[in-house]
Amino acid sequence: MFAISFVAPVFQLIMLGYAANLDVRNVPTAICDLDNSRTSREFVASFSNSGYFEQRYFVDEMKHIDGLIDNGEVALAIIIPRNFSRDLTAGKSPQLQIIADGSDANTGTIGLNYASMIVSEYSGDILMKALERRTDVGNTPKLIKAEIRVWYNPELKSRNFMIPGVLALLLMVVTLILTSLAIVKEKEIGTMEQLIVTPIKPHQLIIGKLAPFTLIGLVDIILVLLVATLWFGVPVRGSVFLLFFLCAVFLLTTLGLGLLVSTVSRNQQQAMMTSIFFIMLPMIYFSGFVFPIPNMPPIFQYFSYLLPLRYFFVIIRGIFLKGVGIAELWDQALILLLFGIGILGLAVMRFQKRLE
Amino acid sequence: MGESAITVKNLTRRFGDFTAVNNINFEVEKGEIFGFLGANGAGKSTTIRMLCGILSSTSGTAEVGGYDINEEPEMVKKHIGYMSQKFSLYEDLTAAQNIEFYAGVYGLENSHFDERYRWVIDMAGLSGREHSLTGELPGGWKQRLALGCAILHEPEIVFLDEPTGGVDPISRRGFWDLINDLSDKGHTIFVTTHYLDEAEYCNTIMLIHAGNIVAGGSPQELKTDYIEYSMYELECDNVIDAMESLRTKNWVEDVSVFGTSLHIGTNEEEAERKVREELSDAGIEVRRFERIIPSLEDVFVHLVQEDKRISR
């Protein structure tokens, strides 16, 4: 019990902190330089200097690329045509071919984005140099330079984005499952029946069953926060107290759901399966943990409003990364609180001192 | 007639299409040991659960300790103790912790606690083992501890659902001594069982079969009122064949196998001669033949068969 309640969340966070990482660096790349000129070599160098690509293979013929991509040796291939440098000097637009392995859509997309960024930068440079050489023009035209600043997570580390999410998930998993199992277990061993025939009040019974898991949940918050900040160096820019308080509000919803599951389950397997398939997985998929909500079909976007985790993600990421306070988060916090009261209230109503 | 502790009126419970308890009526007097008898699945536990306010009734009602089970289930719960078929104790707590827990749940006064605690420990014979884990106690001890926890608050009415299931015969006997003590102190005991020998200890017995009450009365009344013929026991080879050949005779009212012998109910004056003749024709040797006082088991078998005949 101790291990499940306290060691497992820390262990999970450490594992997920490393595994739940969507950053794409060092995309394995194959280069097929058919031109093999000074210009083409310079162009290839601009890819390797970017840090996003690892030039794993140089091939002489295009047909070798198929095998490399099929085997998963490379995720991206860049093919420079035979007349690359000649066309450039002649003022023609050379055709460059880039092939990406779409079976890993995430790496493929990000790799392509990096590649087209490098290509457009390179073309820009060529254009500028050409224009500067044309002395007959008084005012040389300028390209627009975008000065990009990323706020809150300047290195765009996905870990900073994921770890607060993992904290929310762990809190949900531990309290939801432990609560529902603990109550259903008492049904199984018969002590629930014994308690039902005593004059104990339903609210006393519920408080008695929920109190330990509330405590476990609160201790888990502290443990997981410590690992997130000290081990992974994820910053907590906002108030730790506010974070802790809103985590407690979130616990109302998970404890309530746990209690609700226990009222519809006869045995522990049922409680476990109900918790996983009808509550946890939909929450993980639809509340914006990994998959962005704006990308979902509208009906699922509306559905996500029903998930308390959705609001909690906004809150927890806001406090961790943006350092925002209650002034910015009050609406999300209020909705979460209403969900908590609503779910817990429903569960308490359903939880009667009768077997059926 | 004394005052009644429990009055059951047209109590019915259905689970879907299945009627577990069918419109039953009976009364339990204050201070008596009331035995509720029936086979597994006859509706004993369903009835006891309704009377304790664990299950709601489909229709009909009952008064327990003067309170209606549907209107005031929480008042009922203050006046009863209940021990279920399973030993409903926390096995990962010690015996002492279980007692403390239930004392808290029943809201026992601190001043009263020490006395009740000692009583349970002594009654269950747990002196020196108070701090053993409940799960590690032998069955008989666990069962007495469960009883102790169920009646910590000295309820007027004690419900025991198959309290001796899975307990060795010596512990069973000891447990019935406890039940008698409680009854002597004025507690009303409502006990379900399917052990017919245990039913002999009860003041009143009610037989339930397939959700219906088929008979009721003191053990003596049941034996004399319900069986209107003489009962004989015979020992012979091949009891099954013997039963088959006697069953079809019109002068035989009842015949059933009891272990290695046969019980025959008949009003025939010359029962022994006719039975011996019949069986020797069938090539079966009768080793012993004697008249017996019907046991509760005879009554029970008779009534259940009767009930089946009627319902057919």
Chain A residues close to B52, C-beta within 8 Å:
197
Predicted local confidence at residue B311, as pLDDT: 62
User: Could you tell me what percent of chain B has a pLDDT over 90?
Assistant: 41
Under 8 Å CB-to-CB from A330, ≥6 apart: which residues? none
Tell me whether residues A190 and B82 touch, CB distance under 8 A. no
- Residue B29 phi, psi dihedral angles, 5° rounding: -80, 150
**Taking a C-beta distance cutoff of 8 angstroms, is the pair B31, B186 a contact?**
yes
Q: What residue of A is the nearest CA neighbor of B149?
A: A194
- Say if residue A139's pLDDT is above 70: no
Tell me whether residues B78 and A355 touch, CB distance under 8 A. no
* A246-278 confidence digits (pLDDT tens): 999 999 999 999 999 998 898 999 999 999 999
**Taking a C-beta distance cutoff of 8 angstroms, is the pair B62, B11 a contact?**
yes
Any bridge partners for residue B232, and if so which?
B264, B291
- Residue B41 phi, psi dihedral angles, 5° rounding: 85, 5
* A40-99 confidence digits (pLDDT tens): 888 888 888 887 888 888 888 888 888 888 888 888 898 988 888 888 888 788 888 898
The residues of A whose Cβ lies within 8 A of any Cβ of B are 189-191, 193-200, 353-356
Chain A residues close to B88, C-beta within 8 Å:
189-191, 193-194
Could you give all domains of chain B from N- to C-terminal order, each with its CATH number? 4-218 (3.40.50.300), 228-293 (3.30.70.100)
Tell me whether residues A354 and B86 touch, CB distance under 8 A. no
Q: What residue of A is the nearest CA neighbor of B74?
A: A199
**Amino acid in position B182:** L
Q: Which own/partner contact pairs does A165-168 have at CB distance under 8 Å and 24+ positions apart?
A: A165/A20, A165/A289, A165/A290, A165/A313, A165/A316, A165/A317, A166/A12, A166/A13, A166/A16, A166/A17, A166/A20, A166/A224, A167/A13, A167/A221, A167/A224, A167/A225, A167/A228, A167/A316, A168/A250, A168/A289, A168/A309, A168/A312, A168/A313, A168/A316
Of the partner residues B55, B78, B87, the one whose CB lies closest to the CB of residue A199? B78
Please compute the mean of the pLDDT values over residues B97-108 and round it to a whole number: 92
Structure-model confidence comparison of residues A188 and B307, the more confident one: A188
Please compute the mean of the pLDDT values over residues B113-126 and round it to a whole number: 92
What is the rounded CA–CA span in Å between residue A45 and residue A29? 13
Predicted local confidence at residue A353, as pLDDT: 65
How far from chain centre, in Å, is Cα B270? 37
Which segments of chain A belong to CATH 3.40.1710.10? 24-133
Tell me whether residues A190 and B88 touch, CB distance under 8 A. yes
Tell me whether residues A197 and B77 touch, CB distance under 8 A. yes
pLDDT category, B214, cuts 50, 70, 90? confident
pLDDT category, A160, cuts 50, 70, 90? confident
For B32, the token pair is 């008596």
The residues of B whose Cβ lies within 8 A of any Cβ of A are 49, 52-56, 73-74, 77-78, 80, 82, 84-91, 102, 105-107, 150
What is the rounded CA–CA span in Å between residue B278 and residue B282? 7
Complex confidence, ipTM: 0.80
Cα of B198 to nearest chain A Cα, Å: 24
**Amino acid in position A102:** G
Tell me whether residues B53 and A354 touch, CB distance under 8 A. yes
- Say if residue A315's pLDDT is above 80: yes
Lowest mean pLDDT among A245-254, B152-161, B234-243: B234-243
Span between the terminal Cα atoms of chain A, in Å: 30
Predicted local confidence at residue B271, as pLDDT: 84
**Amino acid in position A283:** M
Tell me whether residues B74 and A199 touch, CB distance under 8 A. yes
Our CA angle for A243, A245, A248, nearest 5°, is 110
Tell me whether residues B102 and A189 touch, CB distance under 8 A. no
Helices (H), chain B: 44-51, 73-78, 95-105, 110-124, 139-150, 169-184, 196-199, 219-225, 239-247, 271-281, 296-311
Predicted local confidence at residue B310, as pLDDT: 64
Question: Which of A198, A205, A266 is most worth mutating to test chain B (most B CB atoms within 10 A of its CB)?
Answer: A198
- Say if residue A342's pLDDT is above 90: yes
Q: What CATH number has the domain spanning A24-133?
A: 3.40.1710.10
- Say if residue A341's pLDDT is above 90: yes
Question: Mean pLDDT of all residues in chain A?
Answer: 86
B284 — alpha (psi -120 to 50), left (phi > 0) or beta?
A: beta
Tell me whether residues A190 and B87 touch, CB distance under 8 A. yes
What is the rounded CA–CA span in Å between residue A177 and residue A332? 25
pLDDT category, B79, cuts 50, 70, 90? very high
What is the rounded CA–CA span in Å between residue B144 and residue B160? 12
